[in-house]
Structure formats: structure tokens, C-alpha cells
Amino acid sequence: MKYKYKTSIYILGVLLLVISILDKIYWIYMCTKYTDFEETKAAYLSLFPEFIANAFFLTIIDIIVSGIAAIIFYESKKTGYLKRPSKVLMIVSLILCGWSIFSLM
């Protein structure tokens, strides 16, 4: 990672991680609001535009987003740029990625 772009790439990683975290928070919120799975799923999908309002597709997007964030934080840690925060954020990204992969099963 070139020094000139480290901050921009790191901010991109943080934004991708925030997107993944917000997706999980929204799903958990919908789970507390509704008791029936189909109602929960319909309420969750109603947030998204119709062309991506598919649970499988959204899960794949979440896996990709958290995976890219984990790679960005791994590369930042490897180059020594914000080493400790990068390690923590990489672990959080990998946990969220694993959670999404597990939800596909």
C-alpha cells in the first residue's frame, strides 16, 4: 500500500465495515420488533431498493463488503499503518464475514 493512499484506503475499509455493522444492527432490530420470521424478513428487505431486495443477494454483498474490509485492515496491519486499530478492525471484519457465511448455511 503506497503511503499516499493509505489514509484513503483505510477510510474506505472503515466505511465498508460500518456498512456491514449497520446491516447486522438493522437485522437484529427487525428481529426484536417482529416474532414471525417471514414478517421480519419482509420488514428487513423493505429497506432496500427492489432490485437488490433479495436475502441471498444481500448476504453475498455483506460477505464481500466485510471481506474487503478485512483485507484492507490486514494490509494496513502488515505495512504498520495504524497497526493496533487495524488488527482489531480486521478481527471484527472477519467475525462479521463469518457470521454472514454461516447465515447462508
Nearest CA among 83, 98, 86, 79 for reference residue 13: 86
pTM: 0.84
Q: Which triple of cell numbers denotes residue 30?
A: 427487525
pLDDT at 95: 92
8 A C-beta contact, residue 17 and residue 62: no
Q: Rounded to an integer, what distance in angstroms lies between the CA atom of residue 29 and that of residue 33?
A: 6
Q: Which pLDDT tens digit goes with each residue over 23-80?
A: 899 988 988 988 888 898 888 888 888 888 888 888 899 999 999 999 999 988 888 8
Q: Is 54 helix (H, G, I), strand (E, B) or coil?
A: coil
Residue 5 has pLDDT above 80, yes or no: no
